[in-house]
Chain A
Amino acid sequence: MTLKNFIIKVSEDVFAVSFIVLMIFSFFEWLEPGFVSFYINFVWLLMIPLVSGIITIISKKT
């Protein structure tokens, strides 16, 4: 595995997991307001899939 492949694979995995986690946390937040947002900033939760998604796209194109 090359460094480029490694970065692509890791960013893909981070994107997939963080996106699923974001969906699950959003569901629980809707179910019980404050369940997540009282303790974790949703902006940071949104940043992880966003950044990892951008890295995946950029590293696949280059």
Chain B
Amino acid sequence: MVYKILHKLICLLLIIIPIFVMGWLVANKLAPSGKAEAVYDMRRETPFISKLYPKDRVSEVKIREGGGFYRSLSAESVYFDLKPSASFEKVSVTIKYKIIDGAGLRIGGLGDKRDWLFDFRNLAAGEGWRTQTEIFDFSKMAQEGGKFRFVFSVSGTERDGAEISEIRAVFERKRMTLKGAINKILDAVARKINRLIL
């Protein structure tokens, strides 16, 4: 008798859990709230923020005093890409950084790929670790296969001018209605079927 009840309970869980997981995945993909967040702590990779590259301009991961990790930027331009999970209008990029004496640090979003023009923002200098948020409009940025390229530009020093501890990206757009969400799913399915047929 106990086993029968237990078996029925497990069967119920086996139905509920996949439905819940599927709902969670759909919510992650569609971001109906209009916001999605991704954090790269310099150690664990995330699918939405690339590692800093090229490798030869970035140090190995180092442990920060008081917890956390960081990487040193050793040459002028170091890039990273943002790959939002869906289409968003803008992104708030929050950088946790440290500028080494006398150096300057800027962050820029690639606006024009042909002329290699970046929309640069200065990151304020100061003692110790600092945090600054800059907002970039995706409609004014160049898209490279669903990715948006950003650059850290270090000036005024030969080596290790800045250290980066965290990149946090909050992707934003208008809230999605239920009708909009259904249309988006149907559009994606139709596009995939069209691609298969043609």
Q: How far is the CA of A36 from the CA of B48 in the complex (A)?
A: 14
- Knowing A31-B189, A39-B25, the reply to whether A21 touches B7 (Cβ < 8 A) is no
Closest Cβ neighbor of A35 among chain B residues: B29
- Knowing A35-B25, A36-B25, A39-B28, the reply to whether A6 touches B188 (Cβ < 8 A) is no
* Closest chain B CB from A32 CB (angstroms): 6
Residue pair B10, A21 in contact (C-beta under 8 Å):
no
Residue pair B188, A38 in contact (C-beta under 8 Å):
no
Q: Which residues of A contact B7 (CB under 8 A)?
A: 1, 6, 9-10, 13
A23-40: which have CB < 8 Å to B? Answer: 24, 28, 31-32, 34-40
Q: How far is the CA of A32 from the CA of B85 in the complex (A)?
A: 10
CB < 8 Å A-B pair total: 47
Closest Cβ neighbor of A21 among chain B residues: B18
- Knowing A5-B3, A6-B7, A38-B85, the reply to whether A32 touches B14 (Cβ < 8 A) is no
Residue pair A13, B47 in contact (C-beta under 8 Å):
no
- Contact code string B71-86 (vs A, CB < 8 Å = 1, else 0): 0000000000000010
**Extra inter-chain contacts (12) besides given A9-B7, A17-B14, A32-B29, CB under 8 Å:** A1-B4, A1-B7, A5-B3, A6-B6, A13-B7, A31-B189, A31-B192, A34-B47, A36-B25, A37-B47, A38-B48, A38-B85
